[in-house]
Amino acid sequence: MFHCLHFAALPLCTATLVGNLGAIPTRCTAIPLSELARRSESVASYEESGNVGRLQGKNLQVKCRHNSACYCLNGVNIYGQCPVSGSAGHLRVSEQDWHRVLVPLLSPPPIAPIRCVCIDPGHGGSDPGSRVASLGLEEKKLTLDIARRLQTLLEMRGIRCILTRKTDEFIPLKNRSMAANHNNCDLFVSIHFNAADNISAEGIETYILPCQGMPSTSRLQNVSGKDREFFPNNRCDEQNLYLGYCLQKELHRIPMTKDRGLRRGRFVVLESTQCPAALVECGFLTAKGEGQRIVNERYRQEIAQALCDGICAYGSIASRN
Ligand SMILES: [Zn+2]
């Protein structure tokens, strides 16, 4: 059984971070970049305009931008909840984002060894997902294709895999997380592809469940009813963040892919999963260049390899715990 911790119960002071990290405040309070530099033993600096700030430490590079909730951490885009505030040359990061986004990534949480992964090929049967007829692309077929490739790669590394579907069949969303729970899986990864009316929309994004009280990335600061609920998967908040970061980091390494970032979304397949879980959107079928690349089998193998590498990078932390 995976050892999950409730976010609030996690010790925030760790070996790699110094100073008084404090408790997460209930209201959005902002901390100067210079104070975060002190807490993380790094150096704060600004680009000429003063609207882009950086923290630079031994193993740490954070870039943030005024009025944006997207942080670039060691080259990976990660969305927080509150846009960076303050004035040019005096940026301030919200205490929530510091604790919920940056601290868990700067100091990896306790992670159990990965023995069994639940791979969830999105859609299936009467639910085809997105389609681009001109390229012959159908999301339900592509997700199963990636899932099978990923299964082969993980099994070569000695990791057992459970697939929520092995054929073109309809599986209710709740049954997908139940498959992970009933088989005591150590990780759950749901595979999808994106589509948009705007053909210039492209890139890869990874989703994890928002923390309790945190809205989905698309709504940023507007907290609504469901945002206040605690879901079983919230026990894995810190592990989810680290898993999402590892997956997005490896997916972004694929040549020509745009990093759309690690985001938060209350997807049904994530809510009830008892192990760390992420949902990956492996590209836009509707994007001119990306759609063409997805048609190519070798490109899909690269996606599967990146997912395998991300899972193994996440699992490698277990041996260091
Ligand atoms: Zn989908």
At 108-124, the pLDDT tens digits run 889 999 999 999 999 99
Cα separation, 63 vs 14, whole angstroms = 22
- The SS3 call for residue 174 is helix
| Separation of CA 139 and ligand 1 centre (Å) | 7
Domain range for 220 is 116-320
Same domain, 56 and 122: no
User: What residues pack around ion ligand 1 (CB closer than 5 A)?
Assistant: 122, 129, 192
Cα separation, 267 vs 174, whole angstroms = 10
Give the total number of structural domains in the chain: 2
| pTM for this predicted structure | 0.90
State the Cα torsion 266-267-269-272 to the nearest 10°. Answer: 20
Q: Please give the pLDDT value at position 175.
A: 98
Same domain, 169 and 304: yes
* C-alpha closest to that of 306 among 258, 244, 263, 254: 254
| Separation of CA 127 and ligand 1 centre (Å) | 9
Does residue 163 lie in a domain region? yes
Cα separation, 193 vs 282, whole angstroms = 5
Name the stretches of the chain with pLDDT < 50. Answer: 1-26
Q: What is the DSSP string of 60-83?
A: -EEEEEBT--EEEETTEEEE-SS-
* C-alpha closest to that of 146 among 308, 36, 265, 309: 308
Does residue 86 lie in a domain region? yes
| Separation of CA 207 and ligand 1 centre (Å) | 12
| Separation of CA 123 and ligand 1 centre (Å) | 6
Same domain, 152 and 35: no
Same domain, 167 and 269: yes
| Separation of CA 128 and ligand 1 centre (Å) | 9
Strand 187-194 with 116-121, pairing: parallel
Q: Please give the pLDDT value at position 79.
A: 95
Same domain, 85 and 184: no
Does residue 45 lie in a domain region? yes
| Separation of CA 280 and ligand 1 centre (Å) | 9
